[in-house]
Amino acid sequence: MLPEPPPIAEEQLVARLRAQDEAAMTEFYDKYSAALYGVILRIVRKEEEAEDVLQEGMVKIWHSFQSYDPSKGRLFTWVLNVCRNLAIDKIRSRQYRVSSHSQPLDESPAERQPAATTFRPEHIGLQEITRQLNPEQKQIVDLLYFEGYTQSEVAEELNLPLGTVKTRARAAIKVLSKLIR
Amino acid sequence: MNIEDYIESGQLELYALQQLSPAEAAEVERLAAQYPAIRAELTQVQQRLGLYAEAHAVTPPASMRERVLGGWQQAIRQQPVAVAPAPIAPVTPEPTPRPAQASEAVVRPLPAAEPEAGSGFRWLAIAASVALLLSLGANWLLYSRWQSSENQLVLAQAEQARFAATTQAVQKRLATRTEELGILRSEQFRTVVMTGTPQAPGARAKVMYNPATRAVYVDVNNLPAAPTGKQYQLWALDKGKPVDAGMLAQNTAAGDSLQRMKDIVSAQAFAVTLEDAGGHPTPTLAALTVMGQMTN
- Please give the pLDDT value at position A129: 75
> A132 at the B interface (CB within 8 A)?
no
> A106 at the B interface (CB within 8 A)?
no
- Please give the pLDDT value at position B108: 45
- Please give the pLDDT value at position B54: 86
Disruptive mutation site among A25, A173, A177 for chain B (greatest number of B CBs within 10 Å): A173
Shortest Cα–Cα distance, A100 to chain B (Å): 18
- Note whether ipTM > 0.85 here: no
**Which one of B19, B46, B60 has the shortest CB-CB distance to A34?**
B60
pLDDT digit string, tens, across residues A46-105:
999 999 999 999 999 999 999 898 888 899 999 999 999 999 998 888 764 455 444 444
Q: Please report, for chain A, the start and end positions of each structural domain, with discontinuous segments joined by +.
A: 1-107, 124-181
> Above 90 in pLDDT, residue A130?
no
- Please give the pLDDT value at position B86: 40
The half-sphere exposure of B81 on its side-chain side, counting CA atoms within 13 A, is 14
Q: Which residues contact B208 (CB under 8 A, 6 or more apart)?
A: B183, B184, B189, B190, B191, B192, B215, B216, B217, B218, B219, B258
Q: Does A124-181 carry CATH code 1.10.10.10?
A: yes
Please state, in angstroms and rounded to a whole number, the distance separating the CA atoms of residues B273 and B244.
Answer: 11
pLDDT digit string, tens, across residues A15-42:
999 999 999 999 999 999 999 999 999 9
CB contact (8 A) between residue A73 and residue B105: yes
Q: What pTM did the predictor assign?
A: 0.50
* pLDDT tens across the length of chain B (296 residues): 788 899 988 899 999 988 888 899 999 999 999 999 999 999 999 988 888 888 888 899 999 999 999 999 999 887 655 444 444 434 444 444 444 444 444 444 444 444 555 677 888 899 999 999 999 999 999 998 998 888 899 889 998 999 999 999 999 889 888 888 888 888 888 899 999 988 888 899 999 999 989 999 999 999 998 888 899 999 999 988 999 999 999 888 888 888 999 999 999 999 999 999 888 899 988 889 999 998 76
- Please give the pLDDT value at position B235: 95
Fold for the domain defined by A1-107? Rna Polymerase Sigma Factor; Chain: A (1.10.1740)
The half-sphere exposure of B144 on its side-chain side, counting CA atoms within 13 A, is 5
- Please give the pLDDT value at position A7: 58
Disruptive mutation site among A48, A64, A94 for chain B (greatest number of B CBs within 10 Å): A64
CB contact (8 A) between residue B43 and residue A73: yes
Please state, in angstroms and rounded to a whole number, the distance separating the CA atoms of residues B173 and B245.
Answer: 24
B-chain residue closest to A138, CA distance: B52
